């Protein structure tokens, strides 16, 4: 199961429209096609990592060097990255756009995704990260643009959680 | 055999290329002594914390590939997130040189009559060997002052992604703590980078201000 072809196009379009020029992340089943697409985009520097916390640190460093970064990951990665989000962004105010698969959202088919869904939104609230849950493909591109926009305005991460029709065609 | 931290950080500061940028720790002895030696020059980002200093340096190095980036970290911080070495080894930014103050203890938390709390490098862990295993092209474990001088000269005379682990004696810092917080440190560094690179990092870029004026007319 991966994001739909339409969602893939919309996510890529959203990243480009938002001016994202630096992406780090750890691929998951849903957003794997987006990692593959971004890796081939000559306008975006793609940095794969084996740990979302390291990915966040790399994005923060890239922002300090003038890039516009996004971190693409499963929502389980939010838990891994949360230590560095707290240290870097709550402590110093560094913006990174977060694009997360929303495993465990209503409609989930996998038992292992349930804990990810339970933790994601309370964790984002605890980290004072504003977010949009996107369940319709037509909302995806503009949501990424808006998340990046407020991220830059507040100098703190903002997130998009991707679910619903972006991944399920039932 | 190990080096004195204050002394070797001073020697490194004295040989730092003028046009480089530095990613350093945010608090603790390394940060305070580096700030003392460099008179808090704004080319240093005192923004790294336990487990994220090298990661941020990798991001900065990839963002500015034409600019030499120097990273200062401690053994406890490197050990907290070894995945940073994986990323550095995978990306191999040739403009990045990492120096690690490896004193084998958690210095900044204080100590008692039982001594200082050891890090894993006081035991079996060899960070330079770990870094080599992660694919970082040049790694070295420095244990003497003349070795450090040679490594500094080598590092700044070429463009090779390097990890220089410096075995350092534990010892309390005698310089005063820094007074600024992460917000002020960020703005200092960001404004310096903006001037140095001629780029716009925060705020509304000039071209967008022009667009806003056009819309009002």
In chain A, what residues touch B182 (CB-CB under 8 Å)? 91-93
**Percentage above 90 pLDDT, chain B:** 86
Chain segment A129-168, per-residue pLDDT in tens? 999 999 999 999 999 999 999 999 999 999 999 999 999 9
Q: Are A58 and B56 in contact (CB under 8 A)?
A: yes
The three-state secondary structure class of B208 is helix
pLDDT at B216: 65
Tell me the mean pLDDT in the region A87-113.
Answer: 97
- Core vs surface per residue B9-42: b (16+ CB within 10 A) or e: bbebbeebeeeebbbbbbbbbbbbbbbbbbeeeb
Q: What DSSP state is assigned to residue A113?
A: G
Find out whether A38 and A46 touch, Cβ atoms under 8 Å: yes
Residues A54 and A58: their CA atoms lie apart, in Å, by 6
Q: Bin A43: left if φ > 0, else alpha if -120 < ψ < 50, else beta.
A: alpha
- For residues A10 and A37, the answer to whether their CB atoms sit within 8 Å is no
- When the pLDDT of each residue in chain B is averaged and rounded to a whole number, the result is 94
d(CA A11, CA A149): 15
Q: Å from B6 to nearest chain A CA?
A: 26
Q: Which of A88-97, B74-83, B110-119 has the lowest mean pLDDT?
A: B110-119
Nearest-5° angle of CA A115, CA A120, CA A124?
Answer: 155
Q: Which candidate, A143, A144, A141, A136, places its Cα nearest to that of A165?
A: A136
CB within 8 Å: B64 and A94:
no
End-to-end Cα spacing for chain A: 12
Q: Which residues of A touch B23 (CB under 8 A)?
A: 61
Average pLDDT rounded to a whole number, residues B139-154: 96
State the ipTM, two decimals. 0.97
Q: Kindly list the structural domains of chain A, giving each domain's residue range(s) and its CATH number in brackets, ordered by start.
A: 5-166 (3.40.50.970)
Nearest CA in chain A to B78: A54
**In terms of residue numbers, what domain contains B110?**
3-216
Q: Identify the bridge partners of residue B101 per DSSP, sorted by sequence position.
A: B74, B166
Q: Does A54 touch chain B (CB under 8 A)?
A: yes
* A71 Cβ under 8 Å from any chain B Cβ: no
- Give residues 90 to 119 of B whose Cβ lies within 8 Å of A: 90-91
- CA torsion sign for A32, A38, A40, A45 is negative
Number of Cβ within a 10 Å radius of residue B113: 4
In the predicted structure, residue B207 carries a pLDDT above the cut 70: no
Neighbours of B203 (CB within 10 A): 11
pLDDT given for residue A31 in this prediction: 98
d(CA A94, CA A69): 10
Question: In chain B, which residues have their Cβ closer than 8 Å to the Cβ of A48?
Answer: 90
Would you state the pLDDT for residue B128? 98
pLDDT of residue B19: 95
Whole-angstrom distance, CA of residue B52 vs CA of residue B82: 10
Q: Between A58, A69, A92, which is nearest B186 by CB?
A: A92
Q: Measured between alpha carbons, how far is residue B129 from residues A118, A168, B124 in Å? A: 40, 46, 11
Q: Is A52 on the interface with B (CB under 8 A)?
A: no
> Which residues lie below 8 Å from residue A5, measured CB to CB, with a gap of 6+?
none
Query: What pLDDT is stored for residue A140 in this prediction?
Result: 98
**Residues 6+ away with beta carbon under 8 Å from B94:** B159, B160, B161
**Structure tokens that stand for A89 in this block:** 């962004």
Strands (E) across A9-80 are located at 22-25, 45-48, 69-74
Percent of chain A with pLDDT over 90: 99
The A residues from 76 to 95 touching B (CB cutoff 8 Å) are 83-84, 87-88, 91-94
Report CA-CA distances (Å) from B214 to A17, B204, B210: 21, 15, 6
pLDDT at position B217: 57
Q: Could you report the per-residue pLDDT of B2-45, keeping only the tens digit for each?
A: 999 999 999 999 999 999 999 999 889 999 999 999 999 999 99
Which of chain A's residues have a Cβ under 8 Å away from the Cβ of B60?
Answer: 61-62, 64-65
- Chain B hits for A83, Cβ within 8 Å: 51
B150: domain CATH number is: 3.40.50.970
pLDDT classification of B101: cutoffs 50, 70, 90: very high
Average pLDDT of the segment spanning B112-121? 93
Q: Parallel, antiparallel, or unpaired: how do β-strands A158-162 and B21-25 relate?
A: unpaired
pLDDT value for B24: 97
Residues of A in contact with B90 (CB under 8 A): 48
Residues 6+ apart with CB under 8 A from B13: B34, B37, B38
Tens digit of each residue's pLDDT (9 = 90 or more) over B161-197: 999 999 999 998 889 999 999 999 999 999 999 999 9
Report chain B's terminal Cα–Cα distance, integer Å.
71
Which of B9, B45, B44 lies closest to B174, judged by CA? Answer: B9
| Number of domains making up chain B | 1
What is the per-residue pLDDT across A6-29, written as a single tens digit (0 to 9) for each?
A: 999 999 999 999 999 999 999 999
Q: What is the mean pLDDT of residues A97-105?
A: 98
**CA–CA distance, A67 with B53 (Å, rounded to integer):** 18
């Amino acid at each position: 199961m991966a994001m739909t072809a339409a969602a893939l196009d919309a996510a890529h379009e959203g990243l480009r429209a938002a001016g994202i020029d630096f992406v780090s992340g750890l691929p998951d089943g849903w957003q794997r096609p987006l990692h593959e697409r971004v890796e081939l985009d000559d306008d975006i520097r793609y940095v794969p990592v084996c740990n979302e916390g390291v990915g966040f640190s790399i994005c923060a460093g890239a922002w300090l060097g003038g890039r516009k970064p996004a971190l693409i990951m499963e929502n389980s990665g939010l838990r891994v990255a949360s230590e560095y989000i707290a240290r870097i962004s709550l402590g110093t105010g560094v913006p990174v756009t977060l694009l997360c698969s929303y495993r465990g959202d209503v409609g989930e088919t996998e038992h292992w995704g349930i804990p990810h869904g339970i933790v994601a939104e309370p964790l984002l609230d605890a980290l004072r990260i504003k977010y949009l849950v996107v369940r319709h493909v037509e909302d995806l591109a503009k949501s990424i643009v808006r998340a990046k926009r407020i991220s830059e305005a507040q100098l703190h991460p903002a997130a998009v959680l991707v679910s619903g029709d972006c991944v399920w065609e039932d | 055999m190990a080096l004195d931290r204050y002394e070797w950080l001073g020697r490194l500061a004295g040989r730092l290329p003028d046009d480089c940028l530095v990613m350093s720790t945010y608090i603790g002895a390394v940060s305070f002594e580096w700030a003392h030696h460099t008179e808090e020059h704004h080319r240093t980002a005192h923004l790294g914390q336990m487990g994220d200093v090298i990661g941020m340096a990798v991001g900065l190095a990839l963002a500015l590939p034409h600019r030499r980036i120097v990273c200062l970290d401690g053994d406890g911080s490197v050990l907290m997130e070894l995945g940073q070495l994986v990323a550095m080894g995978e990306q191999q930014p040739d403009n990045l040189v990492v120096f690690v103050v490896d004193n084998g203890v958690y210095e900044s938390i204080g100590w008692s009559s039982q001594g200082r709390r050891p890090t894993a490098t006081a035991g079996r862990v060899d960070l330079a060997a770990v870094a080599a295993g992660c694919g970082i092209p040049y790694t070295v474990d420095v244990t003497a002052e003349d070795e450090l001088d040679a490594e500094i000269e080598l590092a700044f005379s070429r463009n090779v992604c390097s990890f220089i682990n410096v075995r350092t004696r534990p010892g309390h810092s005698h310089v005063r703590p820094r007074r600024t917080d992460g917000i002020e440190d960020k703005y200092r560094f960001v404004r310096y980078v903006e001037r140095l690179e001629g780029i716009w990092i925060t705020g509304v870029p000039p071209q967008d201000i022009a667009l806003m004026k056009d819309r009002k007319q």
